[in-house]
Chains A and B, each alone.
Chain A
Amino acid sequence: MSTGDPTQAATGSGHPTQAATGSGDPAFAAEATVEVAELSVWFGPKVALSELSCSFGPGVTGLLGPNGAGKTTLMRAMTGLLGPKSGSVRVLGQDPRRSREVQRSLALVPEDEAVPPALTARQLVRYVADLHGVAARMAVERCLEEVDLIDVADRRVGGFSKGMRQRAKVAAALVADPTVLVLDEPLNGTDPVQRAHLIALFRRLGAQGRTVIVSSHVLHEVERLAERQIVLLNGRLAAAGGHRAIRDTMADRPRRVLVRTPQARQLAASLLGIDAVSGVTVDDGSLVVSSSRAGEVAVALPRLARDLATRLEEVRPLDDSLESLFRELVR
């Protein structure tokens, strides 16, 4: 665990940066820092989370789900802002709602845009630093630089745009040097340059061994950012683990691969002869192969193409992305 400055990359870390998904239930991370056990939260008749059990460990974990799935509720429960109706949440072994000490290692960047409008960015970050007992003045400056707010640090956050407010909240969270960082849609309202910057920052924080939990709807970026995903649906756990691994377990839904070749129809006919292929769609100059055993098709395809003496101009899986996985899961 690096001490002091959260914004510089750790050197020679011996800490694991990938949540182990090899052995055991992928919903539970090895060396878990945040443990959720049978957590249920409801607001009157609306059930937000239903007997959810999972855990988060060092590295970056994506928390995904459609709107209303319970992501924000889970994040608020993990930081202690919300109390579980049944079940429990433990952060570093302690209940965040009871222990004020564990709040020292915890930081939340909520989705809500609200910031104290009368403070400048510097004053806000300084305030949070003081609350956490961070005396170093340079810590505040470094955090503001890291989120690229140093030039506007003396302007009131009430006048900031949505993206700037988001970054101000991230800076305030970082100054506390948290072990566990929970980010609810942190990329909201940021432009592409800022997004790339923030993603690099979160990856660096994860590489330092912090537990970074990110929820976002920008799936192709979460894909780059997080090695491990937890997917919620209707307050329950829908899937967990690396997104390709999750996709592989959905064997009943065939993979689709696009192949562009001049002799599409002839190649299609040959492919249909293979047992592993469940269907082929042909278009001018391209075809889409559906198969549940994509590995076998991958081996057979070059051989068939060679036999037909045709060139393969492009071979691309159509639903390898997190986005298509997500669509499958919430269908």
Chain B
Amino acid sequence: MTAATAVLGYTLRTNLRARRWWALLLAWAAAVMFGLLSFASDEPRQEAFAVAADHGLFALLIPIGCLVIGDAVLGAEMRAGTFHFTWLSPVPTHTIVLGRWLGGWLIALAALVPAVALSAIVARSPDAIGALSLATAAGSAAYIGLFVLIGCVTRRAAVWSLAVVFLVERLLGAALSGVAQLSPMWESRAVYAGLGPDADELLRDGVPDGWAAVARLAIITVVVLVLASWRLRRPRLAAASD
């Protein structure tokens, strides 16, 4: 097995544990609930679902799900003190980062894409599944990369991750389109806005939508992964101890 495959296998093995199935069920239950919410509105079915997806899926489910997964694949291990098994090896840091990110992304895809699809089915908007899945996949790629980077950079990853999602993305991103353009939350929403059926309400000036948003998310992913590889070359794993 090559080193890269080994890192990927390790990431999947350490994070896919029996006790975590309840988290998956919770995510799916939440998605179903957001799908049902679309019936509370008087608007036509697909437009109502777009709004429910906006408030529920893109604003809450996807960021929170990716936050927990993205921290678990790297940051949590650095804080738990088992990262040295991986770092004390000749494997280049970019391979380590890629392996961890890919593991996290695969887990996010397996957890979140079925959830959002379920949401669309429950809302009786099956046409939305394609665009929704694409938006989720692209958004989680960028999010997982972002949280991997935060885990590399600071021990207080919980604080910074929550601050980025809820202060920077939700607050600042709502006000400033300059921030929204760089935000996985807004860009994944914009993917759906451009490609989803009757989702025009979600379009926003100054934020690229549809396939342009997918490209934007890919760029964000690459940038954060490069930064993480660079940062990991000089890790801060030790605190004062003896």
Contact = CB atoms under 8 A, between A and B. Distances in A.
Given A116-B82, A123-B13, A132 B237 contact: no
Given A67-B242, A98-B233, A119-B14, 12 more contacts: A72-B242, A73-B242, A83-B234, A107-B88, A116-B77, A118-B13, A127-B9, A128-B89, A130-B1, A131-B3, A131-B86, A131-B90
A101 B90 contact: yes
B92 A81 contact: no
Contact of A127 (B6, B90, B235, B240): B6
Interface in A55-70: 67-70
Given A67-B242, A76-B238, A133-B3, A81 B13 contact: no
Interface in B214-241: 233-235, 237-241
A81 B242 contact: no
Contact of A103 (B14, B88, B240): B88
A107 B87 CA distance: 11
B242 A104 contact: no
**Size bracket, chain A contacts:** 35 or more
A104 B90 contact: yes
13 contacts: A43-B239, A68-B242, A69-B242, A101-B90, A104-B89, A114-B80, A114-B82, A118-B17, A130-B3, A131-B7, A132-B89, A133-B3, A133-B90
A119 B9 CA distance: 11
Interface string A100-130: 1101101110101011101100011001101
Interface string A250-269: 00000000000000000000
Interface of A: 43-44, 46, 48, 67-73, 76, 79-83, 97-98, 100-101, 103-104, 106-108, 110, 112, 114-116, 118-119, 123-124, 127-128, 130-133, 172, 176
Contacts of A124: 85
Contacts of B92: 100
A81 B89 contact: no
A74 to B, nearest CB: 9
B2 A128 contact: no
Contacts of B140: none
Contacts of A131: 3, 6-7, 85-86, 89-91
Contacts of B89: 103-104, 128, 131-132, 176
Given A69-B242, A73-B241, A127 B234 contact: no
B84 A81 contact: yes
Interface string B79-111: 011101111111111000000000000000000
A119 B237 CA distance: 21
B39 interface: no
